[in-house]
Structure 1
Amino acid sequence: MALTIEALSCWLVDIPTVRPHKLSMVTMGCQTLTIVKMTCAGGISGWGEATTIGGLSYGPESPEAIKSAIDGYLSPLLCQKTFSGVESLAETMNTSVKGNTFAKSALETAFLDALGKAHNLPVSSLLGGALSERLPVLWTLASGSTEKDIDEGHRLLAEGRHRAFKLKIGAKPLETDLAHALAIKAALGDDVPVHVDVNQAWDMTTALKAIPQLHDGGISMIEQPLALQERHNLIALSQRMPVTILADEAVTDSHAAFALASGGFTGAFALKIAKAGGPAQVIKLAHVAQSAGISLYGGTMLEGTLGTVASLHAWSTLQMRSGTEMFGPLLLKDDIVTTPLDYQNGQVKLPQGPGLGIEIDEDKLRHYARKQ
């Protein structure tokens, strides 16, 4: 299973979104994908992606910093070396480079893609084997307008593309946010699951006031209502509230997952390959959750198809009892793959074939790549 890495190339790829995407900390009109090509001995190439949200608005790694870490530190560390498998790659990166999990995720993805191609196996097989070839996928309603979100939700339900939705709140006054969320839930109906993502915007007092009202309105899952450092309060909310508390930013790696689980957290974990350091690393985090009886949810950093497929290969090997939100490619006006993902009937299909099972359109890559 060994591979020798000969060269690494990295691009920043800017693609407009189909509509403004409003979060509590930023409104996005464009997404930047950090794309990596790993060339290995024998003419095998693997592709990876690292994507964050709103530059530095979401977290400590920006697209520019991810590219800098790869070009300046990780590429010289890895090139011309042979790795027996993905764990030896991760060990080498983690020993010499601290943090920078987004950059490491792109490289681990590219390595798995190349390894799968070398052995004619899908990445899911390298991660333990797919349990399903289709996964549920919701859509985030985040235009910033209640009326537009309701219309968008009704249209997507009629088309059959999605059967569940997420709402972004936290940027506006509490009463405005509550009215917005409850109006959308009421308009979509009792049979359509809806949850809200607060993106760390509330304090404990606000959460205690807001969550019962959301629950009474039919919203059954609340994502990351508190700042990621407020671990004890997040645990307390999960134990006290009649809804599922979904930990996202608070679950950065398997150590953070263990801290929440051992503290008595009873909600669900949002997994993201970028936070964990790659598809193989996020499986370790998932196993911590499963051991504690914590449900799993497949989260997105609004990646393009490349990063989305890498996540899907990992999710396919797990029981994602709280669903997934791998809709990132649908938010983009274009992409850099030759064949788009198959979204229908509230599900997305896992690509088949060696490695990630997708091909990169290098003409589109060059077209959207940021000029230095």
Structure 2
Amino acid sequence: MNQILIESLTTQIVDLPTIRPHTLAMHTMRKQTLVIVRLRCSDGIEGIGEATTIGGLAYGYESPESIKANIDAHLAPMLVGRPAANINAAMQSLDKIAKGNTFAKSGIETALLDAQGKRLGLAVSELLGGRVRDSLEVAWTLASGDTGRDIDEAQQMLDRRRHRIFKLKIGANPLEQDLKHVLAIKKALGDRASVRVDVNQYWDESQAIRGCQVLGDNGIDLIEQPISRVNRSGQVRLNLRSPAPIMADESIESVEDAFSLAADGAASVFALKIAKNGGPRAVLRTAHIAEAAGIALYGGTMLEGSVGTLASAHAFLTLKQLTWGTELFGPLLLTEDIVTEAPQYRDFELHIPRTPGLGLALDEERLARFSR
């Protein structure tokens, strides 16, 4: 039997409109930009992947433009002509020629998994060890920046049974203003919902000491990355004294970071993101480190579109426990999509198909319309 080879690996940058401006501490998103990866194999099967960042270079070290350039110039040439079914060998070859570039590698690993799943007639979750659930609870981020508007939005989500976990983006405003904003929303929602905050590293340690105390004492369930990822000793101190659990997000730029954070006791919850670890297989290595250390898990997002969201979901389906749910709402933030059938959200959860691969197909007309 002839070996199945990778014939081509191509990328497209896609700009999609969002339902509203999405305000983070470091950036306000008015659209979302995806890099779509297409892997064509000698048996005629195509795998699709996605690499997505938040706010260009405002969040991390890769941008859509750098992802595309590095895949086209460096990563794709390494893979063309290699066996398509040996995902392990393919990804190890990329690690040899390119340091970091985890977002780009995640898009490629996703495409390899999608192709292999289609080839074998298996969902990606089965390639990753086997799912132990079919759906994932999904949080919604309230990021309009307006207290009244955020309360109205949350109440609508609860009434529609779409979300009952809400994360608030804070840090860009003065501390007392942010605390007032969060506590007003928690008071309005009461016990109907879980309310959490994401500071995106924007507090210094002195602000975080007060902020974490006030938030924890007033029913806020989780505090994400309150201080800089480089202040490891500060993270350890906060984790020891905060009445609310501290979650590491930006602190985890790699699987190795996860091990170091666990060893230092710098967080009690890890946010899992396939883009920051290098793919669905890679993020499970971080998850297993956390599980061994007794650290709770949360399925994070880079606000990916449907392709990246389902790639994350297939990995998260295999985990023993996701104590804090997931944040896989990226497709719901978009007014347009590039797949033929959108992911299914109902009764507070994302429901993931058992169809081969990711379970998605690209809509070529829409893809062409929104490609740069």
Equivalent residues, number: 369
Deviations 1:129-169 (A, max 9, x none): 00100110010000111111000001111111111100000
Tell me the equivalent position of 2:9.
Answer: 8
Tell me the equivalent position of 1:280.
Answer: 281
Q: TM-score, normalised by structure 2?
A: 0.98
Instruction: Determine if the alignment matches structure 1 residue 127 to structure 2 residue 128.
Output: yes
In 1, Cα distance between equivalents of 2:153 and 2:12: 33
Tell me the equivalent position of 1:139.
Answer: 140
Tell me the equivalent position of 1:271.
Answer: 272
Tell me the equivalent position of 1:358.
Answer: 360
In 2, Cα distance between equivalents of 1:3 and 1:273: 26
Q: TM-score, normalised by structure 1?
A: 0.98
Give the C-alpha shift of residue 264 in structure 1.
2.1
In 1, Cα distance between equivalents of 2:139 and 2:341: 21
In 1, Cα distance between equivalents of 2:36 and 2:357: 16
Give the C-alpha shift of residue 231 in structure 1.
1.6
Give the C-alpha shift of residue 110 in structure 1.
0.1
Deviations 1:229-270 (A, max 9, x none): 112211221121111101001012221111111112351000
Q: Is residue 7–residue 40 contact of structure 1 (8 Å, CA) maintained in 2?
A: yes
Tell me the equivalent position of 1:343.
Answer: 345
Give the C-alpha shift of residue 298 in structure 1.
0.3
Tell me the equivalent position of 1:116.
Answer: 117
Tell me the equivalent position of 1:223.
Answer: 224
Tell me the equivalent position of 1:327.
Answer: 329
In 2, Cα distance between equivalents of 1:291 and 1:336: 38
CA 201–4 in structure 1, closer or farther in 2 if over 3 Å, else same: same
Give the C-alpha shift of residue 13 in structure 1.
0.2
Deviations 1:298-320 (A, max 9, x none): 00000000000000000000121
Residue aligned with 2:216, SS: helix
Tell me the equivalent position of 1:193.
Answer: 194
Q: Is residue 235–residue 267 contact of structure 2 (8 Å, CA) maintained in 1?
A: no
Tell me the equivalent position of 2:70.
Answer: 69
Q: Is residue 199–residue 225 contact of structure 2 (8 Å, CA) maintained in 1?
A: yes
Give the C-alpha shift of residue 220 in structure 1.
1.7
Q: Is residue 139–residue 327 contact of structure 2 (8 Å, CA) maintained in 1?
A: yes
In 2, Cα distance between equivalents of 1:7 and 1:84: 14
Runs of 4+ off more than 3 Å: none
Residue aligned with 2:95, SS: helix
Deviations 1:162-202 (A, max 9, x none): 11100000011111111111111111112310100000101
Deviations 1:334-358 (A, max 9, x none): 1101111111111110122100011
One-letter amino acid matched to 1:199: N
One-letter amino acid matched to 1:158: D
In 1, Cα distance between equivalents of 2:202 and 2:268: 19
Give the C-alpha shift of residue 31 in structure 1.
0.4
Q: Is residue 123–residue 356 contact of structure 2 (8 Å, CA) maintained in 1?
A: yes
In 2, Cα distance between equivalents of 1:22 and 1:84: 41
Residue aligned with 2:88, SS: helix
Residue aligned with 1:303, SS: coil
Tell me the equivalent position of 1:261.
Answer: 262
5 Å-filtered alignment, 1:143-292, equals: 143-292=144-293
In 2, Cα distance between equivalents of 1:71 and 1:127: 27
Residue aligned with 1:82, SS: coil
In 1, Cα distance between equivalents of 2:222 and 2:303: 20
In 2, Cα distance between equivalents of 1:191 and 1:245: 22
Deviations 1:187-228 (A, max 9, x none): 111231010000010111000011111112210200000111
Unaligned residue ranges in structure 1 (runs of 5+):
none
Residue aligned with 2:312, SS: helix
Unaligned residue ranges in structure 2 (runs of 5+):
none
CA 305–84 in structure 1, closer or farther in 2 if over 3 Å, else same: closer
Deviations 1:80-108 (A, max 9, x none): 11155221111000001111110000000
Root-mean-square deviation over aligned CA pairs: 1.0
Tell me the equivalent position of 2:294.
Answer: 293
